[in-house]
A and B are shown apart, each in its own frame.
Chain A
Amino acid sequence: MNESNVIIELNDVTIRYNIASEKIYDLKEYAIKMLTGKLHFKEFFALNDVSFQIHQGESWGIIGKNGAGKSTLLKTICGIIDPYRGSVKAEGYIAPMIELSAGMDSNLTAAENIFLNGAILGNSRKFMKTHFDEIVDFAEIHKFLETPIKNYSSGMRARLGFAVATIVKPDILIVDEVLAVGDFEFRKKCENRIQELLEGGTTLLLVSHAVNDIKKLCDNAIWIEDGKVRMIGDSKTVCDSYMESGKS
């Protein structure tokens, strides 16, 4: 393994949420609670001292029970949540696929959304124009370009979102449980695209409960439990251990 190729690095990352004992949304309640000394915040550590390194071109699966901290881990790599303690480093262009229709405005048409979604991911208008047809081809929505997205089926939306997110060859592709949505054909298309990107040197992070997908698409895996790294290694070993623990 090449030390110089570390593309993602986490060092003692801790992420803390403040859960007020009752979520307070207005000034009056806040003032009253503060004055009467009843303002309690429960601390919740979504991630606790997580450290690992990922090298360029590797494919990693992230597994764990619901609520273990997988999505939080992805979000902090993407730069959506800053760590409370510790540091995260992730280099290059990151294509996050955390919910496919993020960035889409349902009142706008597909054509308008392609540009909007692309811009949200940081692409220039010129770039989106050049790749417009490619996106439409992948998503197979030629007939519905001028229809508002709110009239699209969830499958169409998923195809569109995936097409826009993967149009640039990302350095890091992050996929959070989105393959579960969509029909068989869509899954196949996505897997093929992912394989293509992997062959091109993209680093892959895949969160999924479908352990078989992980074993198929990823060489390595991390098992997160209660915000901590329980196990890290090659995907077959980690996945099998995870499945074993579920049975007992």
Chain B
Amino acid sequence: MNIRKRIRRVLKYKDLYVLLVQRDIKLKYRRSFLGYIWSVLNPLMTMLIMTIVFSYFFKRDIEYFPAYLMAGNVLFAFMRESTTLSMSSVINNAMLLKKVSVPKYIFTLATVTSSFVNLLFALGAFLLVLLIVQVPLSLYMFLIIIPIVELFIFCIGLGLFLSQITVFFRDVKNIWSVVTLAWMYMTPIFYPIESLDPRLARIIMHFNPMYIYITIFRDLAVYSRMSDINILLQGASYSFIMLVIGSWFFRKNQGKFILYI
């Protein structure tokens, strides 16, 4: 298919994309008592518990510790949730894929997007925390859109990769939950990176994309400063590379999905 045809096909399904995101959001909290308030309450409660536990160790080392903590938590939770849900995105829609011709990646895209909407709610809670902890606000905060968009693209790439491999090997789901657990501990969310051995810290700084996104975000939102240009470029590259990897694997294998779902 040439480029114009392909673009037209993609645009043809934009309404479906919106509908799928709306469906996910609607159904998530339908029939629940507090509804969307959970999207704000949950991160707040997590932050509270973690602050109480970890401030014993690190409060003196980190300024505005609750905000520091929550920033990392909220972004990491988005990555974890969007990738975990993405894994099932293709297999959950197996029935549909067997009956109608629909671009297969649309389900993964919609899943990551609805997690993103959740992230936006959590950011509302984050703003509340900033006010409570009396973090000085500044115009730098508007720039948080940069790390957030980079993270979004990163998660789409990762989600695409995971959703296609889960079609063939269902136990990727179990493996992934352990991977994210280890990943979380290797990301300075509730401890400062300075507390690590310098060699380990260097590895994390260069090879942990979550560290990069969280750092850029934290610097802007909590400490009103702009990260080094190197870090910004690294973030963008990771996003781009992940997207390419995820799309490539997805496209390569999508023809075989029908045989395994």
Question: Interface on A for B, CB 8 Å cutoff?
Answer: 17-18, 25-28, 30, 75, 78-82, 94, 96, 98-99, 102-103, 105, 107-108, 112, 115-116, 119-125
Contact = CB atoms under 8 A, between A and B. Distances in A.
A80 B97 contact: yes
B258 A119 contact: no
Nearest to B12: A122
Contacts of B33: none
Interface residues of B, number: 27
B100 A80 contact: yes
Given A108-B23, A112-B23, A120 B171 contact: no
A115 B19 contact: yes
Nearest to B175: A27
B30 interface: yes
B101 A124 contact: no
Given A120-B102, A122-B12, A107 B96 contact: no
Interface of B: 12-13, 15-16, 18-20, 23, 26-27, 30, 95-102, 169-172, 175, 255, 258-259
Contacts of B13: 119, 122
A119 B100 CA distance: 11
Closest 3 CB pairs of A and B: A102-B99, A119-B16, A79-B101
Given A18-B259, A26-B170, A98 B99 contact: yes
A80 B96 CA distance: 10
A105 B30 CA distance: 14
Given A82-B255, A108-B23, A122-B13, A27 B169 contact: yes
A61 to B, nearest CB: 20
A23 to B, nearest CB: 9
B23 A28 contact: no
Which of B12, B16, B27, B100 has the most chain A CB atoms closer than 10 A to its own CB? B100
A27 B255 contact: no
Nearest to A18: B259
Contacts of A81: 258
Given A119-B15, A125-B15, A26 B171 contact: yes
A239 B169 CA distance: 44
Contact of B100 (A102, A105, A107): A102
Contacts of B175: 27
A73 to B, nearest CB: 14
B1 to A, nearest CB: 11
21 contacts: A18-B259, A25-B170, A26-B171, A27-B169, A27-B171, A28-B171, A30-B169, A80-B97, A80-B98, A80-B101, A94-B101, A98-B99, A98-B100, A103-B96, A107-B30, A115-B19, A116-B19, A119-B16, A122-B13, A123-B15, A125-B19
Contacts of A120: 16, 96, 100, 102
A187 B235 CA distance: 59
A99 B94 CA distance: 13
Contacts of B20: 116
A120 B101 CA distance: 8
A154 B230 CA distance: 60
Contacts of B12: 122
A49 B97 CA distance: 25
Contacts of B102: 120
Contact of A26 (B97, B100, B169): B169
Contacts of B101: 78-80, 94, 96
A122 B255 CA distance: 20
A87 B225 CA distance: 58
